[in-house]
Amino acid sequence: MSRARDYGLLVRPSSKRYLDQVAAAMAPTLSHYPIKIAVITDTHDKFRPAMTYYGPTGLMHVSEQSYLAQLVGADLRVHLGDAIDGSERPMLGRMRLALMSGTLATGPGEFMLAKGNHDDNDKFAEARGGRGAFMPAEYDALVQPALALQEGIHTAAGGVQYRDYDRLRVIILNTSDNAVHRHRGRKVPDEKRQLAVREPQLRALAKILAGAGPRDILLLGHAPALRPGGRVGLTHGAEAVQGLLEAFRARHKGRLVLPEPADSDYAGSVDYDFTQVRGRFSAYLAGHWHTEAQYQVRGVNYTLLNCSALMGPYHLITTDYNRAWHRRLGTSTESAGYILGLDPRRHRLAILGYGATSRVRIINY
């Protein structure tokens, strides 16, 4: 376990004590994994304080994730989206997004940030006739500059990101890749309610997968392409993403046609050639659903990660998973996060949780 350096991180004394214990408990397992990644999702950060539900603790959880990442020697820090709740005035939403991006950039090493369905402030706009939502360019202006400063992080069409390590390629999918426009002053679609991956990003994903060579693949995104039982997890592009992953696993070559009307913004086709790849696909990790699950769909491993945001047990939209944790402010259950251990030579992925999470999940792929 490494000693933490001072990056100007704000870490509460009680959290520091808890995370010191977490790092010590994880150390024996992580010693067997050459690549380590710290992951957090769904912080739903807000300016307005709250004792039992969401609030400014989201920003604190990201700062404390960086502290834990130092202790375990993580190679990468990842936020899987819904950085903000998107329910406050646009000025506050922009401020919290900028603070989140800046906090991620302040920590040790590199970071990646996925876009969530709350991050364009559409939740605020839903009750105000569409006013107050961000257009995609506003979100990009707030988060992309910090991402772009990192030489190892690559961004392609549609917002897909990737980072290479020895025998591993980490890919972040943008599941809020919507065709957005203004209609009579109102933003269409409501991005909080619609998740999508479009043709340009799918083509970029096919190229990134094909170019992985001997590397194994770890795919992450805010939302899963498919839910347990094969139910769609995205409004558009769910089966297309799944189809590319199945083709990668089978090392196939072909063309994938999106099942959309020809005049749709989500129509198109994707050519792929995975005949030269030698790595394996490990898993697709996602948040969004504020729960934990582990399942397979047609041979593709999926893992859902719990939300970092505080969800008190007495709120109507608190999930059963979080209600069972009886999460409380100022305790170890206030947050939730993960350290991933990856060993491409053994084709093994360890998912180690802290806070309101399962402690150990292992995927042999």
Q: Which residues contact 198 (CB under 8 A, 6 or more apart)?
A: 158, 177, 178, 179, 236, 237, 265, 266, 268
Predicted pLDDT at 8? 65
The reported pLDDT for the residue numbered 2 is: 45
CB atoms within 10 A of CB 238: 23
Percent of the residues in the chain that have a pLDDT greater than 70, as a whole number? 98
Q: Where are the beta strands (DSSP E) in the chain?
A: 35-40, 76-79, 110-113, 154-155, 161-165, 168-173, 181-183, 186-188, 216-221, 253-257, 269-273, 281-286, 293-297, 300-304, 336-343, 348-355, 360-364
Note whether 79 and 44 are within 8 A (CB).
Answer: no
| Token pair of 287 as six digits | 């948040």
237: its two tokens:
């592009």
Cα angle 216, 221, 226 (rounded to 5 degrees) comes to 90
| Mean model confidence pLDDT for the chain | 96
pLDDT at residue 178 greater than cutoff 90: yes
* pLDDT of residue 12 exceeding 80: yes
Rounded distance, CA 345 to CA 331, Å?
38
Q: Please choose, from the candidates 239, 236, 217, the residue with its C-alpha nearest in 3D space to the C-alpha of residue 226.
A: 239
Q: Which of 301, 319, 267, 286 is nearest to 115 (CA)?
A: 286
| Statement: residue 333 has pLDDT above 80 | yes
Q: For helices 90-106 and 136-148, give the axis angle rounded to 10 degrees.
A: 20
Q: Residue 7 pLDDT > 80, yes or no?
A: no
Give 330's Cβ-side CA count (13 Å radius). 2
Tokens matching residue 155 = 């961004």
For the chain, what percent of residues have pLDDT higher than 90? 95
6 pLDDT above the threshold of 90: no
- The mean pLDDT of 55-77, rounded to a whole number, is 97
Q: Which of 77, 80, 148 is nearest to 115 (CA)?
A: 80
- Burial call 56-94: b when 16+ CB within 10 Å, e when fewer: ebbbbbbbbbbbbbbbbebbbbbbbbbbbbbbbebebbb
Q: What is the pLDDT of residues 193-215, one digit of tens each?
A: 999 999 999 999 999 999 999 99
What residues pair up with 170 in beta bridges, in sequence order?
Answer: 163, 218
What length does the chain have?
365
Which pLDDT score is estimated for 4? 56
| Mean pLDDT within 333-342 | 98
pLDDT for the residue numbered 184: 84
- pLDDT value at residue 183: 87
Q: At residue 75, does pLDDT exceed 90? A: yes
Q: pLDDT digits over 103-138, tens only?
A: 999 999 999 999 999 999 999 999 898 899 999 999
**Statement: residue 5 has pLDDT above 70:** no
SS3 27: helix
- Whole-number pLDDT of residue 151: 94
